[in-house]
Structure 1
C-alpha cells in the first residue's frame, strides 16, 4: 500500500511539474511584435497580405520550414533571461528551446531572428503600454517580471544582417517586477483575466529613426520560464 501510494504521489508530482512547464505561451501583441505581424496576422499559406513575404522567403533560404511560423507563441526558454544569461547567439528567439530542444554549440534561429525588412510600427518616445497575449497558457499566478531593452541611439537597421546583442543597450529601459500573482503589487502591470492579456506601462527613451525593442516576460523560480518578442519601430 505504501509503495502504491508513493507511486501515485510521484506520478502526481510529475504531472504537476509538466503541467507548469509545458502550458504557458505568450508574445507581444501591441505594439505588434514580429510574431504578431508574421505568425498571428499573416501566415505562410495566407495570401491576405504581403508584409511578411520577405521574412518568409529569407527563412526558407537558411533552411527553415514554413510550419515553424505557427509556433509564434512558443519562443521560450527556462532560465533567468537576459539579465543573467549573456551568451545566446540569437536575439529575438534567445536560442529558444522550441527550436533547440538540446544544448548545441550552434543553436538554430527562430523565424523571427531572420534578417529581413520587417514590418514596423510608428511610435514616440515616452509612455508606452506593451500588451502581452498569453492566451496560449494564461499563467497569471507565477508571473514575476517584464523586461524591455532597446537598440542603442547610434543603431542602424540592416535588413541583411542578424541582430546582435551589441546593437542593444546593456541595461533594460523598462524592468517591472511584481509579487507573483499579485497584480496590485505594481501599478505599472495590469492583467485582463478574461482576454488573457497583461499590460505593462513603460517609458521609452529618446530615439530617432528605426529601432528594435526586445521584450521578455518572466515567470518565477518554479519554472524560470521566459518568453520573448522583438518589436520593430520607427520613431516619429
Structure 2
C-alpha cells in the first residue's frame, strides 16, 4: 500500500479536474456495502426514501480514488461527486435510517456486481464532535482509516466480509467505506449511517436460448439534451472498446427515463450481430422496449459482461446567496423569529430546516426564488436559549446544501436571561483581523468559547481563511497552539 498523507482540504481545482476526468471515463455498476446496509443500499431496500436514481443502482457510487488526498469534493463525498446521486449528500440528524452497532469488532460485508482487481478497502468514521447537520467534508471524519484491508491486486469473490474494530463512539455517526479498484483510477464510496451504543442472486429465468444475459439498461433517471449514454462490453481480459455503443440525447423527450433505454437498446441491435438488447421473447427474438431492457450476448462469443455509463453534460450548480444571518436572535414570549435573505439569478425552490442543540428539528419551510431576493422569517415556537443549526438546500442539476450556526438568547430585559450574551468578544470568524492576546470568541460550530493565548502565540489567532483553518478555535488541526478553551 502507498503511504497515506492527511489533507483536510484539497484544492478544489484539483478535485474538479479529477471529477471531470471521471465523468468522461468512469465505469459504473460495481459494488455496495450490504451489511450494515449502506445509505445507498437502504435506498434500494426502501428503508431510505426520496433517494432518486441510486435506488436502482446502489453499486454505482463511483468517484476519483485515494480519498482523502484526492477523491470527491467536500460536500459531495457520499455521492462520490455524481450529480445524479446528489440526494445522498443531504445530511441532517434525521434524514437517513440508521443501523444499530456496538463499538469494537464488527463485520462489514460488500456485494459486488462487477468484482474488479482490488488495491484495498478502507473505512473512515466521523469524529466524536462532528456536526450531523452539516454536509460531509474531510473535516467531518478522522483523517486515518480505522480499518484497512489489502486487496493484493486480486479480484475478490462476489461477496466479501471484513472484520474491523470500530472506535469508541456514541450515538449517530457515519462510516465511509472506500473500495479502491486496482485496475481503474476510481474508487467506490459507501456512506453507512449507524447508531453506536454500549460497550446477488442469479438472474431471473429466461428461455433456453443461444443468448445469455450479461447486463441491464435501467430507467434510472431523466436525462437532458447533451447527455450521453454508453454501453460498454467486457470479456475475461477486460473491456473491448471496439464494441462500445453510445447515444447522445438530443431533446427532452429523448431524455425521458423510459425513452432513452429504448434508444440505446435499438442502437446496440443496429450496430452488432452477436450482441442485442431488449426483452427476450419465447420465440427467441429480442425486441427493444420502453423502460428497462436486458443486454445479451451470443453464447458463442467471449463477452460476459455489459455496463451502462451515463455521462452528464456538466452544468454549474445553482447559486443561492444567503444573507443577513445573525449570530444571535432574541426570544420574546417564548418565540423567536430567525430572519435572513435568499438571492439567486435562477428559478429555484429553496428548502430550509432548523435543528436545536440536540439535533431535534424545530422548524422547516420552503421559499421560491426566481431571479430575485426574497426575505425569509422562520418562527420558532417554544424557543429555548442555546445553539441552533440552519440547513439550506437547493436542488436542480445536483443538491447544494449550506449550513449555518446561530444562537437563541433571552431578551436582555427578561429576568430569566440565560446570561450568555456578552461573555465573549466576537463570534468566530467575525473580526478575525482584530484578534489579539486575551480576545475571546464563540465558536458557533460547537457553542464553546475560546481565549487567544498570550504572546508569542497570539499571532496565530488571526491566521485563518476559509481554505486554511489550521488555527480555527476548537476545530483546526493546530488550534491548541493559539487558543485556550474557556
Q: TM range, normalised to the smaller chain? A: 0.5 to 0.7
Give how far 1:125 is off: 0.8
> Which residue of 109, 126, 129 maps to 1:154?
129
CA contact (8 A) 1:29 1:132 kept: yes
**For 1:186-205, what per-residue CA distance to the aligned partner results, in whole angstroms no more than 9, with x for missing partners?**
xxxxx5x3xx1121221110
User: In structure 2, the residue corresponding to 1:179 is in which secondary structure?
Assistant: strand
Aligned residue for 2:115?
138
Could you say what the CA RMSD is over the residues aligned between the two structures, in angstroms?
2.4
Give how far 1:52 is off: 2.6
Give how far 1:67 is off: 3.5
User: In structure 1, the residue corresponding to 2:160 is in which secondary structure?
Assistant: strand
CA contact (8 A) 1:29 1:36 kept: yes
**For 1:66-99, what per-residue CA distance to the aligned partner results, in whole angstroms no more than 9, with x for missing partners?**
345323211102x432043166131212313xx3
* Higher RCO structure (Cα 8 Å, ≥6 apart): 1
Alignment TM-score, normalising by the size of structure 2: 0.33
**For 1:28-47, what per-residue CA distance to the aligned partner results, in whole angstroms no more than 9, with x for missing partners?**
11011101111x212xxxxx
Are residue 72 (structure 1) and residue 52 (structure 2) matched?
no
User: In structure 2, the residue corresponding to 1:145 is in which secondary structure?
Assistant: strand
Structure 1 gaps, min length 5: 1-19, 43-50, 60-65, 100-107, 183-190
User: In structure 2, the residue corresponding to 1:207 is in which secondary structure?
Assistant: coil
Aligned residue for 1:10?
none
Give how far 1:21 is off: 6.2
User: How far apart in 2 are the matches of 1:174 and 1:168?
Assistant: 13
Rg bigger for which structure? 2
C-alpha spacing 1:122/1:68, structure 2 compared with 1 (3 Å) = closer
Give the helix-richer structure, 1 or 2: 1
> Which residue of 164, 171, 181 maps to 2:154?
181
User: How far apart in 1 are the matches of 2:26 and 2:159?
Assistant: 20
Alignment TM-score, normalising by the size of structure 1: 0.64
What are the within-5 Å matches in structure 2 for residues 91-106 of structure 1?
91-96=77-82, 99=83
Structure 2 gaps, min length 5: 1-24, 198-486
Are residue 31 (structure 1) and residue 36 (structure 2) matched?
yes
Are residue 170 (structure 1) and residue 174 (structure 2) matched?
no
Aligned residue for 1:3?
none
Give how far 1:164 is off: 2.2
What are the within-5 Å matches in structure 2 for residues 26-65 of structure 1?
26-38=31-43, 40-42=44-46, 51-53=47-49, 56=50
Are residue 202 (structure 1) and residue 164 (structure 2) matched?
yes
> Which residue of 169, 181, 184 maps to 1:223?
184
Aligned residue for 2:73?
88
* Range moving further from structure 2, 20-29 or 85-94: 20-29
C-alpha spacing 1:180/1:114, structure 2 compared with 1 (3 Å) = same
CA contact (8 A) 2:29 2:57 kept: no
User: How far apart in 1 are the matches of 2:73 and 2:145?
Assistant: 17
C-alpha spacing 1:69/1:169, structure 2 compared with 1 (3 Å) = same
Are residue 122 (structure 1) and residue 100 (structure 2) matched?
yes
After superposing on structure 2, the runs of 4+ consecutive aligned residues of structure 1 that deviate more than 3 Å are: 20-24, 66-69
CA contact (8 A) 1:156 1:210 kept: no
